[in-house]
């Protein structure tokens, strides 16, 4: 059986280090695990309860479907003004609805964060984990905050820091184990 992990970069920037960490997670995924990058956050409109009563926007339907069909989520966030980027929070608001049938409900989810700062966007990750928990996701693993991230990649975009590779692999293992328990 193959486990499908939806990897969600919280940054919309193409050259984001959080995106690069998720690409590396796909490379490091254990046998039987596929990691797919979700690149649709930028298309998701601002959350509005008024839009819930009609047919939801296509980008929202695609987002919810991607979450629903994945066995688990891996979300990487940068830190903007001490918290998660607005577009990521907005997408999570959409995924937390409708009440009683939300795509996030019970979904095994692991988080990580990266930043050029020494703290590795740890404040944003703490906020992300709180939002996910309140939204009903099954948050697993420990926080993996990657600080001084520009120094950890080579010119080809490969992660070169052994400790970070080990932390990322451990986080993937925790997500897979929690996903297996949820099945």
Closest CA to 74 of 149, 31, 132, 156: 132
pLDDT at 181 over 70: no
Query: Are the C-beta atoms of 137 and 107 separated by less than 8 Å?
Result: yes
pLDDT for the residue 55: 85
Pick from 13-22, 47-56, 70-79, 121-130: least confident: 47-56
pLDDT for the residue 1: 79
Distance between terminal CA atoms of the chain?
A: 11
Which structural domain, as residue segments, surrounds residue 12?
3-182
Compute the mean pLDDT over every residue in the chain, rounded to the nearest whole number. 93
Query: 8: domain CATH number?
Result: 3.40.50.360
Q: What is the pLDDT of residues 10-36, one digit of tens each?
A: 999 999 999 999 999 999 998 999 999
> What percentage of the chain reaches a pLDDT higher than 90?
84
- Residue 68 pLDDT grade (very low, low, confident, very high; cuts 50, 70, 90): very high
Eight-class DSSP state of 35: E
pLDDT at 178 over 50: yes
pLDDT at 166 over 80: yes
pLDDT at 182 over 60: no
pLDDT at 60 over 80: yes
Domain count of the fold of the chain: 1
pLDDT at 63 over 90: yes
Q: How many CB atoms lie within 10 A of CB 150?
A: 9
pTM: 0.95
Mean pLDDT of 104-133: 95
pLDDT for the residue 180: 60
> What percentage of the chain reaches a pLDDT higher than 70?
97
Q: How many CB atoms lie within 10 A of CB 118?
A: 9
Pick from 70-74, 123-127, 138-142: least confident: 138-142
- Residue 183 pLDDT grade (very low, low, confident, very high; cuts 50, 70, 90): very low
Per the listing, tokens 């891996």 go with 74
């Amino acid at each position: 059986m193959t486990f499908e992990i939806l990897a969600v970069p919280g940054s919309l920037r193409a050259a984001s280090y959080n995106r690069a960490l998720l690409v590396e997670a796909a490379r490091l995924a254990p046998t039987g695990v596929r990691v797919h990058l979700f690149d649709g956050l930028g298309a998701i409109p601002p959350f509005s309860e008024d839009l819930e009563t009609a047919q939801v926007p296509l980008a929202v339907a695609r987002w919810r479907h991607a979450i629903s069909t994945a066995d688990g989520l891996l979300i990487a966030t940068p830190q903007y003004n001490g918290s998660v980027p607005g577009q990521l929070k907005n997408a999570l608001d959409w995924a937390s609805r409708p009440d009683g049938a939300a795509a996030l409900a019970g979904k095994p989810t692991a988080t990580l964060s990266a930043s050029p700062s020494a703290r590795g966007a740890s404040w944003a990750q703490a906020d992300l984990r709180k939002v996910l928990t309140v939204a009903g996701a099954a948050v697993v693993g420990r926080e993996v905050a990657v600080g001084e991230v520009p120094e950890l990649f080579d010119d080809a975009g490969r992660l070169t820091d052994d400790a970070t590779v080990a932390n990322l692999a451990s986080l993937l293992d925790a997500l897979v184990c929690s996903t297996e328990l949820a099945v």
